Amino acid sequence: GPILMQQHFYLVGGTTIAIYLGHRHSVDLDWFTGEGFPDTMLLAQNIRDKGIPFTTGQIERGTLHGTISGVRVSFLEYKYPLIKPLINWQESACQLASLEDLASMKLSALIQRGSKKDFVDIYALGLRHFRLRDMLRFYQQKYSVEDMGHVLYGLSYFDDADKERLPKMFWDVDWKIVKKTIRGWVKEVAGHRPFPLNG
């Protein structure tokens, strides 16, 4: 907790969305920082010096992957701006990305890999917090993108995700309903082009 806050790391990814929503099981920990951390080995050693059993995996400049007691952990330099302030998570003495930032990053992940867990996270965010139109606007704001055609295509392409297992869910979720719901959201948004999105 405190050591990561000192280095301005904040928690992102599916685990963070699950902390907010409680919709699925996720244990991987992805930490981002807008600050540089050129000495990745020093970061790894600082973590171990706090008594945390961190095992180092892949290392590059601004990137550190490893495990803590079998849990995959990543530390990444991430220069895209936060669109909302970080949230202090008192229980773990760390900071979480806002749901607005998480939604935009999840869309980015979805169009890159299109995994079932990404669709499930977008579905959960759409049911509980944001319209798809809002999430697309967050994406535009975070990544300074105008044309959203590639995002809408990614949201409509389920072939790879269809082959994967559904993550362990705490909500009652049917994959066919997830797809049908997201297709409906995309159709609704696509009928209100052009972008950028307003209101």
Residue 199 has pLDDT above 50, yes or no: no
In 3D space, the residue among 7, 143, 145, 1 whose CA is nearest the CA of residue 76 turns out to be 7
Q: Tell me the C-alpha to C-alpha distance, in Å, between residue 28 and each of 31, 33, 68, 175.
A: 10, 17, 10, 22
In 3D space, the residue among 153, 136, 157 whose CA is nearest the CA of residue 145 turns out to be 136
> What mean pLDDT comes out for the span 113-122?
96
195 domain residue, yes or no: no
The pLDDT tens digits of the residues spanning 153-187 come to 999 999 999 999 999 999 999 999 999 999 999 99
Task: Choose one of 96, 127, 151: the last residue of a domain.
Answer: 96
* Band of residue 18 on the pLDDT scale cut at 50, 70, 90: very high
Regarding whether 52 and 34 lie in a shared domain, the answer is: yes
Regarding whether 122 and 51 lie in a shared domain, the answer is: no
- pTM comes to 0.90
Regarding whether 146 and 75 lie in a shared domain, the answer is: no
Mean pLDDT of the chain: 91
Token look-up 């180092």 returns 56
> What mean pLDDT comes out for the span 117-135?
97
Tally of domains within the chain: 2
Task: Choose one of 33, 67, 96: the last residue of a domain.
Answer: 96
124 domain residue, yes or no: yes
3-state secondary structure the chain: CHHHHHCCCEEEHHHHHHHHHCCECCCCEEEEECCCCCCHHHHHHHHHHCCCCEEEEEEECCEEEEEECCEEEEEEECCCCCCCCCEEEHHHCEEECCHHHHHHHHHHHHHHHCCHHHHHHHHHHHHHCCCHHHHHHHHHHHHCCCCCHHHHHHHHCCHHHHCCCCCCECCCCCHHHHHHHHHHHHHHHHCCCCCCCCC
